[in-house]
Amino acid sequence: MATLTYVYLDSTAVLGPLATRADPHGYDLCSRHAEALSAPRGWEVIRLAIPDEPEQSTDDLLALADAVREVGLGYEDPAGTGDDQQQRSSGVVELGRRGHLTVLADPDQ
Full-model pTM? 0.46
At 44, which helix (H) or strand (E)? strand 44-47
* pLDDT score recorded for residue 84: 46
CA distances from 15 to 3, 20, 21, 103, 106 (A): 6, 14, 15, 42, 46
| Residue boundaries of the structural domains of the chain | 2-47, 59-104
> How many Å separate Cα 82 from the centre of its chain?
37
| Spatial separation of the C-alpha atoms in residues 45 and 42, rounded to whole Å | 10
Per-residue pLDDT tens, the chain, 109 aa: give them: 889 998 888 999 999 888 888 888 789 998 899 889 888 899 999 998 877 766 666 677 787 777 777 766 655 555 555 454 455 455 667 777 777 777 777 766 6
